[in-house]
Amino acid sequence: MAVPLSPLPDRSSIDAIVETIIYLYTESRRLTKGMASSFGLTGPQLTILKLLESFPDLSLSTLSERIHAQNSTVTGIIDRMEREGLVRRERSRVDRRVVLLRLSEKGARLAQEIQVEPMEIFRQALFRLDADDLHDLLRILMKLQREVLQGVAQSGSKLPALPAQAMQALASVPEVAATPQGSAMAGDGAESTKVTKRRVRPASTSRKEP
> Nearest-5° angle of CA 129, CA 173, CA 47?
60
The helices-and-strands tally (H runs, E runs) of the chain is: 8, 3
DSSP string, 15-27: HHHHHHHHHHHHH
Coil, strand or helix at 167? helix
Do both 63 and 87 map to the same domain? Answer: yes
What is the DSSP secondary structure assignment for residue 139, as one 8-state letter?
H
Residue 156 lies in domain: 129-182
Order across the sheet with 87-91: list the strands. 58-59, 99-103, 87-91
Do both 135 and 55 map to the same domain? Answer: no
Determine the Cα–Cα distance for residues 99 and 97; give it in Å rounded to an integer.
7
State residue 4's pLDDT score: 61
Residue 202 lies in a domain: no
Query: Which residue in 129, 113, 140 sits closest to 40, CA to CA?
Result: 113
DSSP string, 46-84: HHHHHHHHHS-SEEHHHHHHHTT--HHHHHHHHHHHHHT
State residue 183's pLDDT score: 32
State residue 171's pLDDT score: 54
CATH of the domain at 60: 1.10.10.10
Number of domains in the chain: 2
Residue 4 lies in a domain: no
Residue 209 lies in a domain: no
Output the pTM of the full model: 0.56
Residues (pLDDT < 50) of the chain are 173-210
Determine the Cα–Cα distance for residues 59 and 101; give it in Å rounded to an integer.
6
